Amino acid sequence: MRVLVVMAMHAEAEPVVRELGLAPVSTPPWAAHVPMKLYQGRVGSMELDLVVNGVDKQSGLDLIGTQAATASAMLGCEAFKPDLVVSAGTCGGFAKRGGEIGKVYLAEDRVWYHDRRVPIPGFDAMARGGYMVANLDNVAETLGLARGVVTTGDSLDLSAEDSERIEAVGAHAKEMEAAAVAWVAGLFGAGFTALKSVTDIVDGPHPPEEEFFENLKHATEQLAKELVRLVHAIAEDAGLA
Ligand code: SAH
């Protein structure tokens, strides 16, 4: 069994690389021009690969959002042919649904887009995504992981239109990559899940851009801790630990 983890920011990935003892590997020659960074390792006899979006050439900042996530997932899936793809990162949580800073959600049910609006029959449903997540109920129960519906869009702020769609699916985790990664995993016939740690409270009093940096370190430490537990439990469940 082979698991691919897809992450956006270096700060999010660093504790994961350290705690799983992953080693950097070069991108395949056909992808030499992309900014994505690849890492590899093992959990028992399970192969574990990680792709991080890398930095934007013009700004020097970490690439975030669905555009880079799509390219990362495509690269990782083509290079490693994973059985399961995990979109791991940070998210905004919702106090009204039990969200707290540093709480880590394993995706449940489906992953949605909240900012793609196409009011044409058929295209409307396609734009919403709604990609199924893999059934990891047993693993989640063993680990006592919180479960939540994940929703994706390309903005950090919250518009009234986005909010309507987020409420329609009762989302617990608002972030910027998962649905894009889920779509690519589906193209490759791989299972998909997401693990998201709360950096900011969407329905709280503070703007996300302030809370995000204040809580990034704590949230990423929690994320790394739960991701390590998750991949070990998946390896054990598959008899590979
Ligand atoms: N300002 C930061 C970038 C943060 S963008 C910087 O310059 O480095 C937010 C990143 O964290 C995205 O990858 C997204 O998936 C996640 N995220 C955390 N909280 C979010 C929220 N409330 N809404 C959308 N994405 C969020």
Nearest atom within ligand 1 for CA of residue 178: 15
Tell me which of 12, 47, 62, 177 is the catalytic residue.
Answer: 12
Rounded to whole angstroms, how far apart are CA atoms 50 and 69? 12
Query: Atom 11, ligand 1: which residue's CA is nearest?
Result: 90
Is 83 among the residues known to form the active site? no
Tell me which of 47, 175, 177, 200 is the catalytic residue.
Answer: 200
144: confidence class by pLDDT, cuts 50, 70, 90: very high
Residues in the chain: 241
pLDDT digits (tens, 9 = 90+) for 222-235: 999 999 999 999 99
191: confidence class by pLDDT, cuts 50, 70, 90: very high
What is the pLDDT averaged over residues 142-146? 97
Mutate to test the pocket of ligand 1, among 14, 90, 105, 210 (most ligand atoms within 8 A of CB): 90
pLDDT digits (tens, 9 = 90+) for 37-80: 999 999 999 999 999 999 999 999 999 999 999 999 999 999 99
Mutate to test the pocket of ligand 1, among 61, 66, 91, 159 (most ligand atoms within 8 A of CB): 91
pLDDT at 13: 95
Into which CATH architecture does domain 2-237 fall? 3-Layer(aba) Sandwich (3.40)
pLDDT over 90 (residue 241): no
Query: Atom 22, ligand 1: which residue's CA is nearest?
Result: 92
Q: Does residue 193 sit in helix, strand or coil?
A: strand
pLDDT digits (tens, 9 = 90+) for 155-190: 999 999 999 999 999 999 999 999 999 999 999 999
Backbone φ/ψ region at 170: left (φ over 0), alpha (ψ -120 to 50), beta: left
